[in-house]
Amino acid sequence: MQTRRQFGKMISTGALAVGIGEITMGLSCETVFADIEKYVPIGLQAFSLVIGLLDPPLAATLTPIINDVKAALSDVVAAINAYQDAPASDKATLLGKISLVINVAIQAIQQFWSSLNLPDGNLLNTIESILQIILATLSSFLPSLGAVVLPLNARTFAKSIPYTPTKPKNSKALKAQLNAVFTTNGYKLQVVY
């Protein structure tokens, strides 16, 4: 038989554990959100630099897809802002939306890559490496949000970029990684965001 005192201790210990879990999840999400807000604009700038490497006629034919990628990346930051401004009752729904818009951005980048017809060479390797870093970074946020990367439809994508979810240590490391790709491949472009 359990005494009232033992029951009280058990309840308070459980409440403390639940409270700590909520605080930890809150801190974890806040850190993820702060990283997303820092990293996504860097990825967007790197993507814009990649577009600048394309011949203008090719870029013009890809304009709808390019706009989709830019909009999807911007939507990720907008979803974070909406989550942070929302009342607690709406947070769970918005957390799902953040995961969804990250997946939409991943799909849009893969669609861009699939639509890009370039001969093998330095330009193709540069673009693939930059997009791979962006994809790896975006996908690294999903596990912290309790989500996974949605699978690509093989019918939609003639080709895709393989990547492993990897989160750079900080925004400076992300910029250095992207800039190293440009420099290694002989481009003077630099991500400065």
Residue 57: CB atoms within 10 Å: 8
Query: Which amino acid is located at 22 in the chain?
Result: E
Q: Determine the average pLDDT of the residues in 65-79.
A: 96
pLDDT of residue 89: 86
| Euclidean distance between CA atoms 92 and 129, whole angstroms | 34
Q: Read off the pLDDT band of 18 (50, 70, 90).
A: very low
- The reported pLDDT for the residue numbered 3 is 54
The pLDDT mean for the chain works out to 86
Split at pLDDT 50, 70, 90, the class of 12 is: very low
Q: How far apart are CA 34 and CA 41, in angstroms?
A: 12
pLDDT of residue 135: 98
Of 78, 84, 81, residue with least CA distance to 44:
78
Predicted structure pTM score: 0.83
Domain ranges of the chain: 4-184
Q: What pLDDT shows up at residue 28?
A: 57
Closest CA to 66 of 58, 135, 142, 156: 58
| Residue 54 in this model has a pLDDT that exceeds 60 | yes
pLDDT in tens, 86-96: 888 888 888 88
Asked if pLDDT for residue 43 goes beyond 90, the answer is yes
pLDDT tens per residue, range 100-138: 999 999 999 999 999 998 888 999 999 999 999 999 999
